[in-house]
Structure 1
């Protein structure tokens, strides 16, 4: 039956992809999905109040990702860290997810930052280091791998590259196990412009590579989220042996994960939240050496990803949660901080069409019904 979307009539699929859970994790690449949080739709909160989280649904979604063989990157920007989820909520999320990971044998890493410092003002470098240490200690207490997230506070505190070098050297000396560094570009968070002490990306690259070169035993890898495939490849070729490149490029991930004759990227991606089962299956195909089969599965997903991550890119979370609702992973389209309003109805309708064409919805009829209900409430009858 045809559904009338803002972009025109569309006939939904009648059958999903057959991607049952229970497969082993991929072996040729380390693959993390950054995971969203599910809001409590009945909580009486204002947009700037602390997040009210539906913990049962949030943890159930993580079990879904683990069941398909993916690792979970917890309390990252996909979980609305800094856009609705404060540090108190993130700390609880890390603790609950860590316990769940232990219970099911799932792989987990978590974001460590400085977001419990006050917004605004200029913190001292000592305050920034201390804030990082507090969060690093919590991650290690729960036995999860830390991801040293880019810090808005460090941008305000640092005078140049040397301050970044000193701050990260201090933190890496504190870490008991190798961490993942994270370079999140300003398209994901405008407050991170000029990270690593320079707006010149070549100079910034030299700075973080110096951090890694001086502490290779404490760095598992670097997650690069700049949406620039050529820059990521160039960085990847300069990493010390044993230090991984985790792509955070939601525009070019198939080619970056597939790699070339000089290497490849692992993955830590927000788009693997809605693509989880398909992405895991594709990487397992890659495990067999079948690059063409891998690309045939994953290349068609890029249109959806580029749509969700279109500018302003930081609002991609709205599309991610919307697709989780259509897929039946949660019973409502409500987000912490009221972020469900951050994308237009035509944007969401196009996301539905692209995801349905890929067969991502386990129950296409339910997805269609929910899309129709959204159109009726927010778009009126046509």
Structure 2
């Protein structure tokens, strides 16, 4: 049955939805990955019946949220919890994030799944920026680090808006991160999130010059290599990531967070490769898992053949303003049947236009991502009707 999808210029185009079965098995299973460590940064499912406001406490559908994590674990993927994909700093408040961490970590133990959780300073958002000190930033990080470590999850030290606003230069970053790494119980993942994902992080590591910032970042790692499991780089610059990973100390991994260039970065070259911690692996979970298992056999061409066609969808979801990529991710989760509605924490379902959402559907359908193409078609038809597009 034909769908009429809106173009950016206001016209409609006819689209014939896919009728073939999914491109990869819907059910999970299979051996663990052997060549790469792979995390999917997972979204949260909002409670659509909660009486909330965009600036009020987040209301989460815990059953659906945890069920989605079990879906990712069933395919062998690790879960990167309470990251920007879960709307940290964009609707998900720290109190709810802490509960998310505790619940997901407990679920990971029950499911035998791997989990790493974001440690930030977002409890400082209600504090006037002018009054925040480095001591406040350290204390906020410590509070969150304790929650993650007590849950039994691995910690991911996320970039901090409060630190970006408070630090006077590279030395402040060296002091804060050095303090945290010295007290971390287990090796952590350091997360460098670029300003395209969060404009408040411009100038992170004490400089807007990325070469200078990279030197400071590497100085932090070099001073504490035994406390750094790896780094997650989200700068959307493949060559910069390659150059950076070649400078890492022995044993420190690079987890790509580049949602534009992930196939080539994970495949690697004769001097190394990146592991993965990606938001795009939320909607791509089963397909990404199949691709990594092909890579485990040494078949790089087969891996690229599976993953390269997904880049167009990823670049579409993560197009500027990149920080709103979560809207497309949740749309695809709804169309795939992982949740019963298309609403988001903070009302963020309104952050992308209907033409953007329609193109996301078209690209995902063309890739065979939907477990039930008919369900996806009917839900997309309902969304179009809600916007006034008669079929």
TM-score bracket, normalised by the shorter chain, equals over 0.9
Q: Which runs of 5+ in 2 are unaligned?
A: 8-12
Give the Cα separation in 2 of the matches to 1:111 and 1:291. Answer: 31
Residue 121 of structure 1 corresponds to: 129
Retained in 2: the 8 A contact 1:25–1:280? no
Residue 39 of structure 1 corresponds to: 46
Asked if 1:318 corresponds to 2:333, the answer is: no
Give the Cα separation in 2 of the matches to 1:208 and 1:157. Answer: 17
Give the Cα separation in 1 of the matches to 2:65 and 2:125. Answer: 27
Deviates more, 1:372-381 or 1:208-217: 372-381
Q: Which runs of 5+ in 1 are unaligned?
A: none
1:118 Cα shift? Answer: 3.3
1:380 Cα shift? Answer: 2.9
Q: Out of 163, 168, 172, which is 1:159 matched to?
A: 168
The 4+ residue runs of structure 1 with deviation greater than 6 A are none
Retained in 1: the 8 A contact 2:24–2:286? no
SS at match of 1:361: coil
Residues 195-254 of structure 1: per-residue CA shift (max 9 Å, x gap): 000000000000010000010000000100000000000001000010000000000000
Retained in 1: the 8 A contact 2:24–2:287? no
Asked if 1:13 corresponds to 2:18, the answer is: yes
Residues 113-170 of structure 1: per-residue CA shift (max 9 Å, x gap): 1111134413111110111011101111011000000000001110000000011000
Residue 2 of structure 1 corresponds to: 2
SS at match of 1:139: helix
1:24 Cα shift? Answer: 2.3
Give the Cα separation in 2 of the matches to 1:230 and 1:100. Answer: 37
Residue 218 of structure 2 corresponds to: 209
Residues 347-369 of structure 1: per-residue CA shift (max 9 Å, x gap): 00000000000000000000000
Q: Out of 102, 105, 112, which is 1:105 matched to?
A: 112
Give the Cα separation in 2 of the matches to 1:23 and 1:75. Answer: 26
**What does residue range 256-295 of structure 1 map to in structure 2 within 5 Å?**
256-295=265-304
Retained in 2: the 8 A contact 1:196–1:208? yes
**What does residue range 121-200 of structure 1 map to in structure 2 within 5 Å?**
121-122=129-130, 123-200=132-209
Retained in 1: the 8 A contact 2:24–2:290? no
1:31 Cα shift? Answer: 0.1
Retained in 1: the 8 A contact 2:41–2:80? yes
Residue 10 of structure 2 corresponds to: none
SS at match of 1:116: helix
Q: How many residues align?
A: 382
Residue 81 of structure 2 corresponds to: 74
SS at match of 1:202: helix
Retained in 1: the 8 A contact 2:195–2:201? yes
Give the Cα separation in 1 of the matches to 2:330 and 2:134. Answer: 36
C-alpha RMSD of matched pairs (Å): 0.8
